[in-house]
Structure 1
Amino acid sequence: MKVTFSSFTQTCINKQKSCGSFSTAHLYGCAAHSFSEYLGRDTIRFGDITTQALKLYEKYLIRTSHSFNTISTYMRMLRAIYNKAIMAGLARFVFNLFHDVFTGIDRNHKKALDESNLKEILTGEVKSLALKRVQLMAAAMYRLCGMPFVDLQHLGIHSVVDGVLKYNRQKTGSCVNIPVNRNVCKLIKLLPVSDLDLSTESGYKRYQSLLRNFNAGLKRLAKAFGVKISISSYTFRHSWATNALHHHVPVEVISSALGHSDIRTTQIYLKGFDAEEIGKANSKVCKCLNVR
């Protein structure tokens, strides 16, 4: 049987799963499914991956209200699979095949909340017990320097040693140390977390289910307070980084707190200052010239 892009994608998915890379396997499947929907058929041939087809696919994704970051993810996954096929001798090399479609990061898409909305969501009174649990976890993520949801699921009071919370990021393995006070320790003890084994497929699926439920809870929480901005688990990570910057915390410190190995990654999280703030800063910097 002739190998198609679809069948080769499944081979790549199986290999990623065997290596414990369930997240990558999931993204491969989502990208292939999306492109298959665009084509209107189940089977994708290698010949379907052309510069023109990819550009039309990008327009289709924009037309169907996909964000540029989602578009980038799909394109990068398709590119990764195609490149693997080239290495396997199944597809021909095409110079700049993905050059005309978006594969970067949409820096204009900001996920940070302003401080008033943030305070309302994290400290406002809610009656629902389920929403209180969601609020508790969101508050912990923010107060722990924008801790990712996946790392929160592996957290416990045993993680605190001599007043310092120590953990290794699940995504990168980098070590993060955060000094915590008694109130934060109490908060950690109250967290409804699950110790997940992400090296197994069942553990990964369980994590995805918890994340979906948490994000759905956040949407209900925002609606309860009349906050119309779309929020997700990443909102509190971006918000912490942005507010830290606005309170003049050095970017290097923010980067370390987020567990980033490259400061350029941190820049993605930071929402820029508005014109008024820039004007004030410029006035201070130019004050030495005795001009206004």
Structure 2
Amino acid sequence: MDAFVSVVCYKSKTLSNGESPLMLQVFLHGKRKYKSLGVSINPKYWDFSRNKPKPGCPDGELIQKVILDKVSSIHKSILQLNAEQTDLTLSRLFTENEKPSKRQTVGEFYLNLIFQLQADGKTGNRKVYVGSYNSIKAYSEGNTDLQFSDIDADWLSGYERWLRSKGNKETTISLMFRTLRSIYNKALEARCARKSDYPFDRNKISKFDVKTRKRALAKADILRIMRLDVSAEKRSIRLSRDLFIFSYLTGGTNFTDIANLKTLNISNGRIIYLRQKTGKQINIQINDEAAEILNRYNSGVCQRGYLFPILDARIHRTAQQKEDRIHKCLSRTNKGLKYIARLAGIDFSLSTYAARHSFATVLKNSGVNVALISEALGHSDLTTTQIYLDSFENRQIDDALKNLL
């Protein structure tokens, strides 16, 4: 008797991300067994009559790929056990299927990592790997079943030419190559690839020219933006200016980190938080100007749960909801900053990221130790930055920040 294999959405269980897990379901000899696929989905995107993602499901194509791969793997295990004339039982079937395979394809390795990041709530990193996966899939004309040994010098050269032919800028090409290298390194660690095949020792990613146009404002321009009268402007414009200045005054705080700030992050006139990107603790003094900005938005903190009107704890509960909201607000803020630059008469493509660069540049031009600046920004080599970071006291950083105004 053959086993009946399907995948179901276990909607009676809700995970921390607000989604329900997808379960592999196997019927055999009147018995049934479930096993998690390690993938979750919002039940509203699941077709329960056909047991597949609905059209328009976010990441539906990736989810369907995982489903097909797992079902195919179970069927192969059934054939293997039958060929060996072994009694087919659910226990033997799952044991056979769970044997570690070191022959994962590049596509399989990507998908496993992507859904692990989703389960861990690391939506930012997940987004980068999804973009890389889709890029490689497009270059390979839909075929992601290549082995890591197939990615050699010729393959990389062809991939680079293809990226350039699509009009990608140097920074994007560098990101695609760095992400692919990261995947390859993770595959080496998992023993799914061989070091002898490693193509990045000779194909250095440092060859890409990732220098970008000037992103830092002079102190005089920063002060002009701070003193700009925006009282007659709409609320979103005033908020854009405040977020920019607050970031500049608090060590170039990243927009995502600002969005996640809560009352508990304020203690004794200081902001203390963990960077979303690196997990590093930041402890920085709040000067009078930054405190004034915080006070403007205090009235809604109890309702929202956050210091700034970006996230709302009543609405944005899952990691994906937070990421989507932050992305939308970041786009609107950067649009507002372009308008503010024109109001201030500054010929500059103003963005939230410019606040970080301006913070660094103004302090550097004031003679502040570069290691102190790197600490707050996490620029360049984060490992080296970390070594410097632990050797400085908050007092030294506080003294450095006095150079900002």
Category of TM-score, reference length = shorter chain:
0.7 to 0.9
2:261 corresponds to: 155
2:309 corresponds to: 192
Alpha-carbon shift at residue 226 of structure 1 (Å): 5.8
Deviations 1:230-287 (A, max 9, x none): 44322111110111010111223323444676555899xxxxxxxxxxxxxxxxxxxx
Q: Could you tell me which amino acid in structure 2 is paired with residue 170 of structure 1?
A: Q
From 240, 244, 251, the equivalent of 2:363 is 244
Query: Structure 1 residues 62 and 79 mapped into 2: Cα distance closer, same or farther (>3 Å)?
Result: same
Alpha-carbon shift at residue 16 of structure 1 (Å): 1.6
Alignment of 1:58-69 (within 5 A): 58-62=160-164, 64-69=166-171
Is 2:140 the counterpart of 1:21?
no
Contact 1:75 1:101 in 2 (8 A): no
Is 2:321 the counterpart of 1:215?
no
Measured on the aligned residues, the alpha-carbon RMSD in Å equals 3.5
From 284, 289, 300, the equivalent of 1:178 is 284
1:9 corresponds to: 110
Contact 2:236 2:333 in 1 (8 A): no
Contact 1:155 1:193 in 2 (8 A): no
Indicate the structure whose relative CO is greater, using CA pairs within 8 Å and at least 6 residues apart: 1
SS where residue 167 of structure 1 aligns? strand
Contact 2:226 2:245 in 1 (8 A): yes
Query: Structure 1 residues 145 and 153 mapped into 2: Cα distance closer, same or farther (>3 Å)?
Result: same
SS where residue 14 of structure 1 aligns? helix
2:205 corresponds to: 102
Query: Structure 1 residues 102 and 235 mapped into 2: Cα distance closer, same or farther (>3 Å)?
Result: same
From 138, 141, 157, the equivalent of 1:55 is 157
* Percent identity (aligned): 28
SS where residue 44 of structure 1 aligns? coil
Alignment of 1:112-131 (within 5 A): 112-126=216-230, 127-131=233-237
Structure 1, unmatched stretches of 5+, are: 268-292
> 1: distance between equivalents of 2:154 and 2:187?
20
> 1: distance between equivalents of 2:138 and 2:387?
34
Query: Structure 1 residues 105 and 115 mapped into 2: Cα distance closer, same or farther (>3 Å)?
Result: farther
Contact 1:165 1:177 in 2 (8 A): yes
Query: Structure 1 residues 136 and 56 mapped into 2: Cα distance closer, same or farther (>3 Å)?
Result: same
> 2: distance between equivalents of 1:76 and 1:161?
38
Deviations 1:94-131 (A, max 9, x none): 54413325258867335322334444444434434322
Q: Could you tell me which amino acid in structure 2 is paired with residue 210 of structure 1?
A: C
Alignment of 1:219-230 (within 5 A): 219-222=338-341, 225=344, 227-230=346-349
Deviations 1:184-211 (A, max 9, x none): 2121132434267897333333333333
Contact 2:129 2:179 in 1 (8 A): yes
Q: Could you tell me which amino acid in structure 2 is paired with residue 42 of structure 1?
A: G
> 2: distance between equivalents of 1:105 and 1:111?
19
Query: Structure 1 residues 176 and 90 mapped into 2: Cα distance closer, same or farther (>3 Å)?
Result: closer
Deviates more, 1:120-129 or 1:190-199: 190-199
Contact 2:123 2:323 in 1 (8 A): yes
Alpha-carbon shift at residue 152 of structure 1 (Å): 0.9
1:72 corresponds to: 174
Deviates more, 1:88-97 or 1:124-133: 88-97
Alpha-carbon shift at residue 30 of structure 1 (Å): 0.6
> 2: distance between equivalents of 1:254 and 1:54?
36
Is 2:203 the counterpart of 1:203?
no
SS where residue 234 of structure 1 aligns? helix
Alpha-carbon shift at residue 149 of structure 1 (Å): 0.9
> 1: distance between equivalents of 2:251 and 2:190?
43
Is 2:339 the counterpart of 1:235?
no
Structure 2, unmatched stretches of 5+, are: 1-71, 74-103, 297-307, 389-405
Query: Structure 1 residues 113 and 45 mapped into 2: Cα distance closer, same or farther (>3 Å)?
Result: farther
From 130, 134, 148, the equivalent of 2:240 is 134
> 2: distance between equivalents of 1:104 and 1:211?
31
Query: Structure 1 residues 93 and 182 mapped into 2: Cα distance closer, same or farther (>3 Å)?
Result: closer
> 1: distance between equivalents of 2:191 and 2:178?
20
> 1: distance between equivalents of 2:240 and 2:142?
38
Query: Structure 1 residues 264 and 88 mapped into 2: Cα distance closer, same or farther (>3 Å)?
Result: closer
Q: What's the TM-score once normalised by structure 1's chain length? A: 0.73
> 2: distance between equivalents of 1:176 and 1:144?
10
Query: Structure 1 residues 259 and 164 mapped into 2: Cα distance closer, same or farther (>3 Å)?
Result: farther
Whose strand proportion is higher, 1 or 2?
2
Q: Could you tell me which amino acid in structure 2 is paired with residue 141 of structure 1?
A: S
Query: Structure 1 residues 100 and 223 mapped into 2: Cα distance closer, same or farther (>3 Å)?
Result: farther
Contact 1:51 1:97 in 2 (8 A): yes
Query: Structure 1 residues 195 and 130 mapped into 2: Cα distance closer, same or farther (>3 Å)?
Result: closer
Q: Could you tell me which amino acid in structure 2 is paired with residue 239 of structure 1?
A: S
Contact 1:73 1:103 in 2 (8 A): no
